[in-house]
Structures are given as structure tokens and as C-alpha cells.
Amino acid sequence: MKRLLPYIFLLCQAVAEEQPAIIPEGYRLETIPGPEGVVFEVAGLDVAPNGDVFAGTRYGEVWRWSGGQWSLYADGLHEITGLDAQEFRGAREPENPFAPLVEDRIYVCQKPELTCLVDENADGRADYYEAVSADFGFNGNYHQYNYGPVRDADGNFYGTLNLGHGRGDDGVKVRGSGMAYDDFLRGTVYKVSPAGDYETFSWGLRSPAGIGIHPDQKSIFFTDNQGDWNPTSSLAHATLGSFHGHPASLTDHPDFKGKNLDEIPIADFKTKMKPPAVWIPQGLVANSPGNPVWDTSGGKFGPFDGQIFIGDQTRSNVFRAVLEKVGGEWQGSVIEFINPLQSGCIRLAFAPDGSLYVGQTARGWGSVGTAKFGMQRIVYEGKRPLLEIHSVALRKNGFQVRFTNEIDPERAADASGYVVEHWGYDYSEKYGSPMVDKTVVTPKRVTVSEDKRAVTIRLSEILTDKVYKIAVPEMGAGLSTRTAYYTVNYLKD
């Protein structure tokens, strides 16, 4: 059968799917069958303003999911690992048949290039494959992924460039670390203006498999995967010129050009490093996180409005990141959300209706989810109020944990029901770090807020450069998860 023909499927919601072990009440996971016979390893995903879902695959195709039907938009691309569909208008069916047809544009990051796929004749298939930028090094090493793009309010594109996998003597491996700087500008965040001008925005990345932009349309965040110089995976806020820890990319940095990076003390790199907004503990929350997306649905996706959602390839879960500004910088916690899904969750995208699409692939690094690839969708039905941890906020002498609903004040006030533990991570060229100086802390006191929706856990001291595990007691009406992991970089004044 001809694989390029669109395949028609009905999205069958009537059949109740088996639900994951961890899923908050009111949420439902649906599986969307991919186009049949297609290697559907979704590593680029976005939902256009009209609700059409665009999936870019590692095989190199872009598929459009519209009205319960798949159609091929573009093919023959070189491992797509990011996609932006915000300029897509669906010019194929103009409301006014006499209006001139408008070109449709989908942006993808493929390994060699940031590319715009233009449907010039409005037949639903891209005709012109425009090179937006290829001003970074690419020598074919399998690990040189190009993730993105996301766009800011001015239309600039941002992407992240993976380091190469250090095979043999290839490239610069600072202190013999695993990943290598094996072509120019690898391990950075880049910015490309609408006119195509390329600039390096941030340095010190390793395997930054997901980039996202804050709803303010200017703050850039990315995730990085655990490994050398990355003690555990992280979500970081990139600012112009920021350095995020992996020294290999400094080979190109104007302050380091020509220097032997092996001779620079590790402490110097650490001083220069902008700490991530949140460490994502390996094995507990995520091992290989993808792109962060913000819930801006205004409640259509439930009570976590404004929070960040991230998927993970290895653990095949979706978790939340809840950030606040402390000392002028973003920091906060990560909390399990849904676990596990059918395959490795590398891409998330919110649809205008408030549902969350999940693009999946398990290839290359393995995943707990047994499917090799696919697409699922998380829907909030919210028929009954649910009780979950909403957020964790740092206080001067403790943490405030807010819930989505009222809690049992007696149970909540019993300090003995809480487990608080903290640890640090070693920053080095070694692959990952164990939890260092793991310490259990006994809360001094727990108080319940007047609205019965929050508790304040008082501690005798709070240390910086630590991850705090905060586990709350059972609150009666079944929390799907009781643990949050808060990264303290800065203290509250």
C-alpha cells in the first residue's frame, strides 16, 4: 500500500484505555494511533493556532493531524528534533474562496539546519525547504542534535545544540569527560533573528534535549540530561552570555579561546556557572527530560495554571516544574504528574483546547514505556475537585506547600507525618553524581493556613546548593504523589 497516502482513523474515545499507575484524579490519558506503517518517532511537536497537530519524526517526516486524519506535510528531513507550528494558518481551506492563498510555514530543527517548510501552493504539502540558518558546526556525529526552535515576541528563533559523543580522540573532552566539543559552537543556545543573523546566546550545555519559552515570550529555558559535568538532569534559565556548566563549549568562548581548558580549576567553572532553576533528581523524577511547556490554558488543563510540564524519555513519565523568583532568579521544585506513559516522552505541546499532546520515541536510549514510538494526549475533565500538591514555595525559615483543595487540618498539622531530606551534587567531569551529604531534617513545626489549602513546614535552617525532598503525609483523599523536590539556590530575604 502506498505509504504517502493519508490514512484515516477515528479517534476512539469510547473505549476506556488502561490508565497509568500515577495520574491525578480528573485526568485521562488517550492514545492517538500514528499514521499506519510509518516509523513515527515523534521528536518535534507543536499544535497550530487552529488546533492542527504537527508531528516531526526522527525518520525525517512532518505529519499533520487534523480532523481525525493524518496527512504528510513534508519528508526527507535529517532527524527532526523540534518543530514550531505557530505560523501555520491552514491556508488550504480559506473562508473566502476568492481570497489569495497564503503560504503556510512550519519551522523544524533538523540536525544540519534550522529549516522553514513552506507550502507555497497551499496543497497541504511543503514545496520549498528554506534554510533559515546553518551557521553552526555539524560533522555527522550521531549525538549532534539540534533542538528547537522556540520564538520570542520579536520573532527571533532559539535552539540548543548537543555536544558530540566523544568517540576516540575526536574533539575537546575537558578532563577526559564523555561528551566532546567536536565541531564549532556545539553545546550552546543559539539565537537567529528573523533576517537570519546568527548569534550564540548561552554556553555550557551538554545534551539539552528540550527548549521552551516562558509565556512572557522572552525568557528562554532548556533542560539538560545527566552526564559529565551534569550531576543530574536540570531545567535552566538561559540569559544572554550565561554559562551552564559543561566546559567543552568554552573552546569557542571569547574569554577562553586558545586556553587549555584542562588546566582551569573546576572551581573556576563552578563560579562562572549559572545554577539551574531546578535539579531533576535522576531515577526519582527524570533521567532524560525533553522540552518544558507552560500551562496557559487558564484552568482548562486543571488547577496547575502557569506551571511547567516536562516529559522524560527513559522513565516515560510527565512531571511538573513549579518555579518562583527568589533573589531575582528562577528556582523551584519538580513534582511527578503522570507515570508511566506508553513510550519515551520527549516532546510536549499544549493545544488551544487545553489538552496536552505527548510525542514519543524509545529508540537509542531505552524507555520504561514499551512502545517504540507514538503519540498520546492528556485531557483534564475535572468533574470533581481533586486534591494534589499545587506548589512549593520557599519561606524564610521553611517551605510552604500549597494544595489544590482543602486538607484535613489535624492530619496536616502533625509534623511527624512529614519527611524532609536534603542533599547536594558533585560537579565534575564524571558521569552524573550520587546524592551527596544526604541528611534527614526534622521539621520544627507545621502550621496550616487559614484557608486550609496550605501548610508551612518550619525548619531550623535552610542550606543553599541543595535539593530538598519534601514528602507530605496522606491527606485522606488520595494524593497521586506526595513528594516534591525543591532546589535551593538562593534564600528568601
Residues in contact with another protein by the rule CB under 8 A: 1-4, 36-39, 58-60, 76-79, 110-113, 115-116, 120, 126-131, 134, 138-143, 226, 282-283, 287, 314, 363-366, 372-373, 431-432, 434
| Pair 321, 304: CB distance under 8 Å | no
CA–CA gap between residue 318 and residue 323 (Å, rounded):
16
How near is the Cβ of 139 to another protein at its closest, in Å? 6
Nearer to another protein, 10 or 153 (CB): 10
Which alpha helices (H) appear in 436-478, and where do they start and end?
none
CA–CA gap between residue 184 and residue 483 (Å, rounded):
41
Nearer to another protein, 104 or 113 (CB): 113
| Pair 158, 202: CB distance under 8 Å | no
CA neighbours closer than 13 Å in the CB half-sphere of residue 260: 4
How near is the Cβ of 228 to another protein at its closest, in Å? 12
CA–CA gap between residue 190 and residue 230 (Å, rounded):
20
Burial of 146 by CB count in 10 Å (0-12 exposed, 13-18 middle, 19+ buried)? buried
How near is the Cβ of 51 to another protein at its closest, in Å? 26
Nearer to another protein, 108 or 457 (CB): 108
How near is the Cβ of 78 to another protein at its closest, in Å? 4
How near is the Cβ of 144 to another protein at its closest, in Å? 8
How near is the Cβ of 14 to another protein at its closest, in Å? 21
How near is the Cβ of 217 to another protein at its closest, in Å? 27
Nearer to another protein, 143 or 214 (CB): 143
CA–CA gap between residue 82 and residue 59 (Å, rounded):
13
Nearer to another protein, 365 or 439 (CB): 365
CA–CA gap between residue 33 and residue 46 (Å, rounded):
17
CA–CA gap between residue 236 and residue 314 (Å, rounded):
20
Nearer to another protein, 332 or 344 (CB): 344
Nearer to another protein, 314 or 480 (CB): 314
How near is the Cβ of 108 to another protein at its closest, in Å? 11
Q: What are phi and psi of 489, to 5 degrees?
A: -95, -40
Helices (H) and strands (E) in the chain, counts: 2, 34
Nearer to another protein, 4 or 240 (CB): 4
Question: Which helix (H) or strand (E) is 393 found in, with range?
Answer: strand 389-395
Angle at alpha carbon of residue 463, lines to 427 and 428, rounded to 5° = 5
Question: Is the bond leading into 97 cis (omega within 30 degrees of zero)?
Answer: no
